[in-house]
Chains A and B, each alone.
Chain A
Amino acid sequence: MTRDEIKDLILEIIEDIDEDAEFDNLDADAPLRDQLDLDSMDFLDIVMELRKRYKLQIPEEEYPELATLTSCVNYLEPKLKDV
């Protein structure tokens, strides 16, 4: 997956959680939780969806890597490079 595809994937998963989520003014380098109406259970939904779709096992200590859109892409790029 390319970096853009990973970005789109994350946004697609978030949109599936909250169809009212607004991405127009999203700062890719700022925490998603500060910009979108997401809580810890929503982040677990993101983790679960990645596990279901790509069999990705993300250890709990690495959850902070999913804080911003950019950090998500950085973290997931090597894991999804062959997808």
Chain B
Amino acid sequence: MSDKSAHNRFVLTGVGLTAPGGANDPAEYRRRLLAGESGITSIDLRYMGRAPAGICTFPETKYRKKRENKRGTRAGCIGVYCAGEALSDAGIDFTQYERSRTGVYIGLTEHGTVETENEVYNISRFDYNVDYWTHHHNPRTVLNNPAGEITMNQGITGPHYSIGAACAAGNAALIQGLQMLQLGEVDLALCGGISECVGSFGIFASFRAQGALAEHVDPTKASRPLDRDRNGIVISEGGCVFTLERLDRALARGAKIYGEIAGYAVNSDARDFVLPYGPRQSRCMQAALERAGMQPSDITIINTHATGTRQGDVEECRAIREVFVDCPHTWTNNTKSHIGHAMGAAGVLELAGNLPSFTDNMVHPTINLDNLDSECALPGLVAGTPKKLERVDALLNNSFGMVGINSVVIVKRFVAN
């Protein structure tokens, strides 16, 4: 990010989202985060019974017909809504940008699990006769599906594809969009992440088999990262799509600017299929700071990835403590305590939850933190109630995922020069 001309600065100008519990626009989502509300409920899962989960309720037919939702996937339905909202929020109607110069980059933890489980269940009612397997299976399960459904809906003819990066995917898609702008491949990037994971019993069952699925009699208390009494992950669906533009184009059209991407990094643990690794996370955070030309003390808010598993929470907090030494004006929070783990959407939904800090100067709290795990002690941890600051200058969004992938995005307050 060395060339600082306005053509090589990249800004977020539109946000479209649906978050668990019915927050379907950035303002309502922010209101709930500041109010400390949980968006978690419980659902019935095939074969498994009830489990806490984050469910989105949004106007599914706002941007396409019910028949298209039936033909497509839940991920596509979420994506079409989020992309439509992002474009609307950004004031882009494709008179400012060409559809052929627009790219769609969507981060996914996985895709196709829900659709495959549903079809296996479907043919189980026909004695496993594959003549009853749907012809919709392949277009629904190709990995570009959610991004492709967005392009069909918006008539976008530029590139589209998915970024598979486990639960680091949301950030990774944002980075991909930025890099495509840097390369001059596109002029407008729709980038973000989507999760339809709550439709898959297998994802829940796998976490449960691993001892990492949250349980609680009160589902709103189930997602409790950093808390001594946490017992695992609350799985959520959700989505968030940003419009990302070059600063010169955004200024020329008088766009509202949420923030500027200052730095980013992605790296790999190269160690374990499941367990996160703090030292590589700290390296990833340092690399993002270096790319941004920033010191740790320049970061106002660190949004943790912490999911509510002991090892994940402890490793991340260790990494943060290693990087952020003597940073009395750096604050930390956690969004999953409100909305659960939205997998591929997690990083971007969490970023969207914190972006309003640049205008309201508030740090949203971590909730359900009744007894802090001593190994997760972080200076500046905001818990229970929001914290009002004089000014918020930069957000660092940390994400990591299975098979050892870490991603960090730093967004700073937009300042013209």
| A44 and B138 alpha carbons, distance in the complex (Å) | 14
B71 and A41 contacting across the interface, CB-CB below 8 Å: yes
A41 and B136 contacting across the interface, CB-CB below 8 Å: yes
B62 lies within 8 A of chain A by Cβ: no
A81 lies within 8 A of chain B by Cβ: no
B67 and A57 contacting across the interface, CB-CB below 8 Å: no
| A48 and B70 alpha carbons, distance in the complex (Å) | 15
Nearest residue, chain A, Cβ from B133: A48
B65 lies within 8 A of chain A by Cβ: yes
A18 / chain B contacts, CB cutoff of 8 Å: 65, 67
CB distance from A67 to the nearest CB of B (A): 19
B132 lies within 8 A of chain A by Cβ: yes
Given A19-B66, A20-B65, do A48 and B132 touch, yes or no (CB 8 Å)? yes
A79 lies within 8 A of chain B by Cβ: no
B67 and A52 contacting across the interface, CB-CB below 8 Å: no
B67 / chain A contacts, CB cutoff of 8 Å: 17-20
| A6 and B71 alpha carbons, distance in the complex (Å) | 25
| A53 and B372 alpha carbons, distance in the complex (Å) | 57
B126 and A41 contacting across the interface, CB-CB below 8 Å: no
B66 and A41 contacting across the interface, CB-CB below 8 Å: no
B4 lies within 8 A of chain A by Cβ: no
| A41 and B134 alpha carbons, distance in the complex (Å) | 10
Instruction: Please provide the chain A residues from 6 to 26 with a CB less than 8 Å away from any CB of chain B in the complex.
Output: 17-20
**21 pairs from A and B in contact (CB 8 Å cutoff):** A17-B67, A17-B70, A18-B65, A18-B67, A19-B66, A19-B67, A20-B65, A20-B67, A41-B71, A41-B135, A41-B136, A44-B135, A45-B135, A48-B132, A48-B134, A48-B135, A51-B131, A51-B132, A52-B126, A52-B132, A57-B131
Starting from the known contacts A17-B70, A52-B132, 19 additional A-B residue pairs (CB-CB under 8 Å) come to: A17-B67, A18-B65, A18-B67, A19-B66, A19-B67, A20-B65, A20-B67, A41-B71, A41-B135, A41-B136, A44-B135, A45-B135, A48-B132, A48-B134, A48-B135, A51-B131, A51-B132, A52-B126, A57-B131
